[in-house]
Amino acid sequence: METNRSDTKQILGKLAAQRGAGLIRKAIQENGKANIILATGASQFEMLDELVKEDINWSLVTAFHLDEYIGIPETHPASFRKYLKERFTNRVFPQDFIYVNGNADPHQECKRLGLLISQFPIDVAFVGIGENGHLAFNDPPADFETEEPYLVVRLNEACRRQQLGEGWFSAISEVPERAISMSVKQIMKSKSIICSVPDLRKSTAVYHTINSEISPDCPATILRNHPNAVLYLDNLSASLLTL
């Protein structure tokens, strides 16, 4: 896993977007199309804002949604479908985006998404890392072994408090306890992974991602096993490291 450190999260976002955009253009040049995964959350703000400025023929790109809460409507402020439409799809994407529908039957939705993504080998996954080290909504201890592309997962207390702290909900009781998440193995099947992790509150998770034993107890450590993963940090998220 390569590590890239920037002075600010704005520079982090620009560098991550530029790297990812180059990989998308390369896939289009070689295959006539590209398939990507997009994460959400506050850690992706700067990267997505830069990615939509890149010169990419988005009509040749198929995009998959990484995860979504179960049981909240698309109109809810915390809905990741709402987030992606406002920050990405409505700005650049001229065709259907393959969203996770958190209002559908969860197990049927996992099956639907699994069948779809099996037809689209992923060229680039844009992801983040949670304060508890989670990858997508795979909270510790994560399932590293399942072959299922999408899972119904239960969100632990640290994960739910992060969502509250980021301002998506007004009380912890409002944060859903379950979500649909892309599995760790499915993320790791991506040819390249761009992982954007700004902010001081992520510094402990970043430290363990780089220094702790690769383990389901810190799901993001699995990224060290990927041959083309790049971890983009700012000075705050990297503050516990000696780089």
What CATH number is associated with residue 147?
3.40.50.1360
Give the number of domains in the chain: 1
- pLDDT confidence bin for 162, thresholds 50/70/90: confident
- Domain interval for residue 99: 2-234
Residue 21 in any domain: the answer is yes
- Inside any domain, residue 239: no
Question: Does residue 60 form part of some domain?
Answer: yes
Q: Which residues pair with 5 in a beta bridge?
A: 233
How many whole angstroms separate alpha carbon 104 and alpha carbon 97?
Answer: 17
pLDDT of residue 193 exceeding 90, the answer is yes
Question: What pLDDT was estimated at residue 25?
Answer: 98
d(CA 157, CA 96): 34
Residue 42 lies in a domain: yes
CA dihedral sign, ordered 117, 123, 126, 129: positive
pLDDT band for 95, please (50, 70, 90 cuts). low
Q: What mean pLDDT is predicted for residues 60-81?
A: 93
Q: In this structure, is residue 240 part of a structural domain?
A: no
Q: With respect to residue 212, please indicate whether it lies within any of the assigned structural domains.
A: yes
Average pLDDT, stretch 119-123? 97
27, pLDDT greater than 80: yes
The answer as to whether 66 is a domain residue is yes
Average pLDDT estimate for 15-34: 97
Segment 216-231 shows an average pLDDT of 98
Between the alpha carbon of residue 113 and those of residues 42, 53, 109, the distances in Å are: 24, 28, 6
Residue with tokens 């039957």: 105
Give a yes or no: residue 242 inside a domain.
no
The pLDDT score that the predictor gives to residue 169 is: 86
